[in-house]
Amino acid sequence: MINSIIYEAQLIGFKEGIKAGLVWLVFYSYLLSNDRKSLAKSFYTGISLSLLLGLSFLLFPESPVSGDFIGNIISMSFALFLIFSGAALYHASGVDLFVFRDGMRSEFVIRTLVFSLTVIFFLPDFTGSAVYLNELAELKENTFMTAVSAAAGIMIAAVIIFSFVRLYKPFWLGSFFAFPQLLLFLAMVKLFGSGIKGISELSLIPSVQRGFIKFIHDLVHQTFVMLMVPDHPLLKKTTWDFIGTFFGPGFASIASLFILLALPALFINHTLFRPLPEPPARTNIARRKTRALMLSDRRKKAVPVIFFMVFIISAWFSYGGEKVLQVYDPEPRPVVADNGVIVIPLKDPVTDVMDGRLHKFSFVHEGEEVRVMVIKKADNSLSVCLDACEICPPSGYGQRDDHVVCLYCSTPIPVNTLGRAGGCNPVPLAADIGDGFIRIELKEIIKKWGFVNSGR
Amino acid sequence: MNNIGYQILKLPFTILSSRAFLLWLAGGWLVYYVSLAIWMDEAFAFFVSGVEKTSLIQALFILFLVSGYLNLIRGIKVRFSGNKIGFVAWLMLSAGAMLYLTGFFLSINVRQFDSRLAGEGDVIRPSWSSENYRVVDLSPGIKSQYKKSGQDGLLDHEPEITLIDGLDKAYRVGAYPPVKIGRTYFHILNYGIAPGVELFENGRLIQSGYMALRLLPPGRSDYFDIMPYPYRFLVSLAPETDHGGTAQAPVFNLENPRYSTRVFSGEKVIAEGDSGEALSFDRFALGYFRHTYWVQLEAAKDPGIPIIKYGIFLIVFGMPVYLLRLVIALLPFRN
Which residue from A minimizes the CA distance to B188?
A230
Are A306 and A268 in contact by the 8 Å Cβ rule? The answer is yes
Residue A456 placed within a domain: no
Distance CA A101, CA B19 (A): 17
Residues from chain B that touch A223, judged by Cβ atoms under 8 A, are 308, 312
Residues A23 and A66 in one domain: yes
Residues A88 and A165 in one domain: yes
Interhelix angle A7-33/A179-193, rounded to 10 degrees, is 180
Residues from chain A that touch B104, judged by Cβ atoms under 8 A, are 222, 226
Domains of chain B, residue spans: 2-112+304-330, 114-191+297-301, 193-296
Residues from chain B that touch A218, judged by Cβ atoms under 8 A, are 43-45
Residue A314 placed within a domain: yes
B242 at the A interface (CB within 8 A)? no
- Determine whether the interchain pair B103/A90 forms a contact, defined as Cβ–Cβ distance below 8 Å: no
Residues of chain B with pLDDT under 50: 333, 335
Distance CA A117, CA A23 (A): 12
Residues A38 and A147 in one domain: yes
Residues A68 and A169 in one domain: yes
Distance CA B308, CA B304 (A): 6
Q: How much is the pLDDT for A354?
A: 86
Are A184 and A263 in contact by the 8 Å Cβ rule? The answer is yes
Of residues A83, A228, A456, nearest to B31 (C-beta): A83
Q: Which of A290, A311, A326 is the last residue of a domain?
A: A326
Q: Which of A326, A357, A381 is the last residue of a domain?
A: A326
Dihedral sign for Cα atoms in the order A238, A240, A244, A245: positive
In chain A, residues 97-116 whose CB comes closer than 8 Å to chain B? 97
Q: What is the mean pLDDT of chain A?
A: 83
Residue A172 placed within a domain: yes
pLDDT digits (tens, 9 = 90+) for A36-73: 888 999 999 999 999 999 888 877 777 677 778 888 89
Which phi and psi (to 5°) does residue B125 adopt? -145, 110
In chain A, residues 288-327 whose CB comes closer than 8 Å to chain B? none
Look up the domain containing A406 and give its range. 333-451
% of chain A with per-residue pLDDT over 90: 22
pLDDT digits (tens, 9 = 90+) for A205-238: 888 888 888 888 888 888 988 998 876 556 666 6
Helices marked H in A94-236 — which ranges?
A: 101-104, 107-140, 143-168, 179-193, 205-226
- Determine whether the interchain pair B220/A97 forms a contact, defined as Cβ–Cβ distance below 8 Å: no
Residues from chain B that touch A407, judged by Cβ atoms under 8 A, are none
Indicate the length of chain A as a whole number: 456
Interacting residues of B89 by C-beta distance below 8 A, sequence separation 6+:
B318, B321, B322, B324, B325
Of residues B37, B107, B176, nearest to A226 (C-beta): B107
What is the separation of C-alpha B163 from the centre of its chain, rounded to a whole number of angstroms?
Answer: 19
Residues from chain B that touch A80, judged by Cβ atoms under 8 A, are 31
Alpha carbon separation from B294 to A99, A335, B193 (Å, rounded): 63, 38, 6
Are B133 and B127 in contact by the 8 Å Cβ rule? The answer is no
Are B225 and B233 in contact by the 8 Å Cβ rule? The answer is yes
B30 at the A interface (CB within 8 A)? yes
Q: How close is the nearest chain B Cα to the Cα of A97, in Å?
A: 5
Q: How much is the pLDDT for A355?
A: 86
Residues from chain B that touch A211, judged by Cβ atoms under 8 A, are 37-38
H/E element holding B143?
A: none
A77 at the B interface (CB within 8 A)? no
- Determine whether the interchain pair A87/B23 forms a contact, defined as Cβ–Cβ distance below 8 Å: yes
Q: How much is the pLDDT for B161?
A: 93
Among candidate residues B108, B113, B107, B110, the one with its CA nearest the CA of residue B299: B113
Are A168 and A27 in contact by the 8 Å Cβ rule? The answer is no
Of residues A90, A219, A456, nearest to B44 (C-beta): A219
Distance CA B191, CA B181 (A): 21
In chain B, residues 120-149 whose CB comes closer than 8 Å to chain A? none
Residue A404 placed within a domain: yes
Interacting residues of A448 by C-beta distance below 8 A, sequence separation 6+:
A386, A427, A429
A222 at the B interface (CB within 8 A)? yes
Residue A208 placed within a domain: yes
Instruction: Using pLDDT thresholds of 50, 70 and 90, give the confidence band for residue A320.
Output: low
Q: How much is the pLDDT for A454?
A: 43
* CA distance from start to end of chain A: 64
A257 at the B interface (CB within 8 A)? no
> Is A456 a residue whose pLDDT tops 50?
no
What is the total count of domains within chain A?
Answer: 3
Of residues A95, A218, A273, nearest to B19 (C-beta): A95
Least-confidence region, from A8-17, A26-35, A196-205, A349-358: A196-205
Interhelix angle A249-268/A284-319, rounded to 10 degrees, is 160
CATH code of residue A409: 2.102.10
Residues A2 and A63 in one domain: yes
Q: Provide the total of helices (H) and of strands (E) in chain A, helices listed first.
A: 12, 11
| Residue A167 or A447, more confident | A167
Interacting residues of B130 by C-beta distance below 8 A, sequence separation 6+:
none
Q: Which of A149, A183, A198 is the last residue of a domain?
A: A198
Residues A88 and A16 in one domain: yes
In chain B, residues 283-312 whose CB comes closer than 8 Å to chain A? 298, 300, 302, 304-305, 308-309, 312
Q: How much is the pLDDT for B307?
A: 96
Q: How much is the pLDDT for A132?
A: 87
Residues from chain B that touch A451, judged by Cβ atoms under 8 A, are 220-222
Residues from chain A that touch B159, judged by Cβ atoms under 8 A, are 234
Residues A273 and A295 in one domain: yes
Distance CA B38, CA A415 (A): 15
Q: How much is the pLDDT for A234?
A: 62
H/E element holding A321?
A: none
Residue A308 placed within a domain: yes
pLDDT digits (tens, 9 = 90+) for A340-385: 888 888 888 778 888 888 999 888 776 677 889 999 887 788 889 9
Residues A320 and A344 in one domain: no
Residue A168 placed within a domain: yes
